[in-house]
Chain A
Amino acid sequence: DIQMTQSPSSLSASVGDRVTITCRASQSISSYLNWYQQKPGKPPKLLIYAASSLQSGVPSGFSGSGSGTDFTLTISSLQPEDFATYYCQQSYTTPWTFGQGTKVEIK
């Protein structure tokens, strides 16, 4: 199985900060990488697919990059509604696997 490792596991940031979350795959997955946002008590929401494609309706402040084994989710200017947990997920091969999550908290 492909292991997905996110860092950091949590971070504290202020409104307006630029935030970067990284995700590393245990083997090359080309650009088969998705990012999700989850708020407490809610299901996850797709933000980015194919490493860098913004899902329809997602604010342009979110962006993704990377290929191979190393990927990045960037929030250019953190908004109050962006405080949540973020997960990466590889779509290269089943079993589909997720990173352990990165919780973005208010500083």
Chain B
Amino acid sequence: EVQLVESGGGLVKPGGSLRLSCAVSGFTFRNGWMSWVRQAPGKGLEWVGRIKSKTDGGTTDYAAPVKGRFTISRDDSKNTLYLQMNSLKTEDTAVYYCVTEGGNAYYMFFDYWGQGTLVTVSS
């Protein structure tokens, strides 16, 4: 059974930093492309960014609102995904989900989701 468990959320002041972790099991993590998706309270889903597998280059892509402030990384030896968030703004307040990018060469979809971790940015 695939399990994704996020941690590291909490309350942080505007301008502050936070690092989220996502521990993955039941899945060959090193081969997986991983994304972070967030959801502000009472709002819809917003893709934050993704990291490809090292086999596929290990490159990252980010949504415009977080580019330059957030960094996604991975430690395949620990089956763990990270999201480093710097220069946090109040509008970054959301539940952050760790998600696997499944599919094949033609179609991508988000197939496994963690339960999410809440990040609150407030003074």
Whether, in the assembled complex, A55 has its beta carbon less than 8 Å from a beta carbon of chain B, the answer is: yes
Min CB gap A88→B, angstroms? 10
Contact in complex: B110, A95 (CB < 8 Å): no
Q: Chain B 105-123 against A: per-residue CB contact (8 Å), 1 yes, 0 no?
A: 0111111011110000000
Proximity string of chain A (24-50) to chain B, C-beta cutoff 8 Å, 1 when within and 0 when not: 000000011010101000111110011
A95 and B44 form a contact (CB under 8 A): no
Q: What are the residues of chain B within 8 A of A98 when measuring CB–CB?
A: 44-47
Count of B residues near A, CB < 8 Å? 22
Which B residues fall within an 8 A CB radius of A?
A: 35, 44-47, 50, 61-64, 97, 103, 106-111, 113-116
Which residues of A approach B to under 8 Å, CB–CB?
Answer: 1, 31-32, 34, 36, 38, 42-46, 49-50, 53, 55, 87, 89, 91, 94-101
Q: Can you name 7 extra interface pairs (CB under 8 A) apart from A32-B108, A96-B47, A98-B46?
A: A31-B107, A44-B110, A46-B111, A94-B50, A98-B47, A99-B44, A101-B44
